[in-house]
Chains A and B, each alone.
Chain A
Amino acid sequence: MNLSIALQALKVNKLRSGLTMLGIIIGVAAVIVMIAVGSGAQARVKEQIAGLGSNLMILWAGSVTTAGVRGGTGTAQTLVEEDAWAVMREISEIQVAAPTQRGSGQIVWGNSNWLAAIVGATPEYFEARDWALISGRLFEAGEMSGAGKVAIIGQTVARELFGDSDPVDQIIRVRGVPFTVIGLLERKGQSMMGQDQDDIVIIPLTTARNKIFGALQGRIGRVSSIFIKSKDGADMKEAEEKVRELLRQRHRLTGNTPDDFSLRNLTEILQAQEAASKVMAILLAAVASVSLLVGGIGIMNIMLVSVTERTREIGLRLAVGARGKDILSQFLVEAITLSTIGGVLGILLGGLGTWLVAELAEWPVQLSVLSVILAVGFSAVIGIFFGYYPARKAASMQPIQALRYE
């Protein structure tokens, strides 16, 4: 009964009801979009962590200083393959260490060609990076020791060269050298620097050293970086320290001599990023909640105006037999109806806004059911909270005064 009275009262004042709802609509939509953007950013960081591989450290060769001019990371050829094996052998926290030699070059298949990253690696690389094949196989021992001309390619390279056809067993040319494609990697996505990690051709480390980057080779067994994965549950800080110590020992660095390598705990960096994005998500939601609160105050404002404006109506209702609590529930139901309808429309607008953000700004978004439930629940609570005071005011009116009100 009260619902139909309330709906009728709202219908009678369509414009005002609409404007009041607008506050809630915008508030709810803002909460939904902001939570979607916030959790989208969080999801992207999580994805990057997953893409990177868990518990991962990367060891880069250090810089070299020639006549006072300091080069960048990797200019010094300080890391060797044996460093990786030593780390794996001697530090108990380490699950696997994978030496890699990185470069780039033109890849040719048939009459199409593509410039991609070329990585010389060992089978450990795939374990360190949690990277699985979707077809084909990994390198065999004979191919590793015998510098076999076999390649495992990433999704981007496969798409650019082969389109939809199966790349496995095809012959490609890497810097002019023919290689047989033996495997296709699963999609890895963007790295945290925004690099396409799937734009890659992986060949055995020995092959890379002897047949591809050979001319540039300096020290025997040099590698450009080593991917190190610590065991699950191991203390990464401690593992990191041990790796550093071992490397300094192996490179005969003593006292205050600076490291001739750099060791980065990427997982840790990403975790810090994840924490930051979480804070941002909370902040966004908080700001949006403020607009929802303002919308709620808008409801209270309009309901107060409405109570004053409809004083005679209230007087009449009381005169013809309405009890105080009939009036209370009528105005309360009006406020709740406004905020609930506003909430539902806000969800639709929020969904649309989220879609627009994803389409136009190309931000990662994630529309969560929880945020929708939260926003609607919150708007209903706002209806009750901000509707109660005006409704109370209406219900406490005396019929004579209300009827006489001009």
Chain B
Amino acid sequence: MTLIKTHHLVKTYGVGEQIVHALDDVSLTIEQGEFVAIVGASGSGKSTFMNMIGCLDQPSSGSYDLGGEDVANMSSDELADLRNRRIGFIFQQFNLLARTSAIENVALPLLYARVGPLAELSKEQRYEHAKQRLEQVGLGERLLNTPAQLSGGQQQRVAIARALVNDPDLILADEPTGALDSKTSAEVMALLTQLNQQGMTVVVVTHESDVAAYASRTITFKDGKVIDDSPNKKVSSLGGLS
């Protein structure tokens, strides 16, 4: 089943007199359950594309369909609700709230749930839900630690738990290993792979080819266009970073 379908997606920015085409006529589809890596040099448009499919930004023209919902004409409030329901974000800098416990960080998106069963949860139920997600990423013992009391890898796992807490259709990871050493990078990528194997659609934006190698499909951007879109050869073992 198709989860993401973009149709002639264009995003332009006006910089003075010049018009920059950050995305130039991008049409592609991503199926449910795929593990996709989006690669390209900086300025290639991969981040813009991620913002677009993450519903953080609206295209200048073209259309975008996420799981049957037409995103292009939504108001910012509708986009916020859509992000809350369908997308889990993972960032390079983790973006955890400082001086706030892991479980509170993970429960944060639940505060903004407005529709569906998650909107009905009591405070205790939200924390119970968050606790399950932290256990899922192997941090069941660290519920009350603040980010400062956690290693980089642990912080990113908290962020992954946070991305999972709303039961999203899609995990969007923007340079998830950019701030981590190679060993913890491998752990984080293994975790994402494991989630994908459980059926989660995962899209990773990266400029590191060994991170991209975890994915089953690599989409390469250059100058706002897709220049290559091909399936990866299966990596024989996880931890193939070395």
Contacts and interface: CB of A to CB of B under 8 A. Distances in A.
A321 B80 contact: yes
A313 B81 contact: no
Interface in B95-128: 95, 97-100, 104, 108-109, 111-114
A322 B166 CA distance: 13
Contacts of B166: 320-321
A150 B64 CA distance: 108
A65 B77 CA distance: 94
A398 B93 CA distance: 18
Given A1-B111, A313-B97, A318 B80 contact: yes
A322 B56 contact: no
Nearest to A4: B123
B51 A322 contact: no
Contacts of A8: 100, 104
A320 B77 contact: no
Q: Is the interface of A mostly helix, strand, loop or mixed?
A: helix
B109 A400 contact: no
Given A320-B112, A321-B112, A322-B112, A400 B57 contact: yes
A134 interface: no
B56 A320 contact: no
Interface in B70-110: 76-77, 80-81, 83-85, 89, 91, 93, 95, 97-100, 104, 108-109
A8 B91 CA distance: 23
Interface in A4-48: 5, 8, 12
A315 interface: yes
A143 interface: no
Interface residues of A, number: 22
Interface residues of B, number: 28
Contacts of A318: 80
B46 to A, nearest CB: 14
Interface string A357-396: 0000000000000000000000000000000000000000
B51 A320 contact: no
A320 B109 contact: yes
Contacts of B83: 319-321
Given A326-B112, A400-B57, A321 B95 contact: no
B108 A12 contact: no
Given A12-B100, A324-B76, A315 B84 contact: no
A89 interface: no
Contacts of A399: 56
Interface string B131-167: 0000000000000000000000000000000100010
B172 to A, nearest CB: 9
Contacts of B57: 398, 400
Contact of B77 (A5, A12, A324, A400): A324
Nearest to A322: B112
A321 B81 contact: yes
Nearest to A330: B111
Interface of A: 1, 5, 8, 12, 312-313, 315-326, 398-400, 403
Interface of B: 51, 54, 56-57, 76-77, 80-81, 83-85, 89, 91, 93, 95, 97-100, 104, 108-109, 111-114, 162, 166
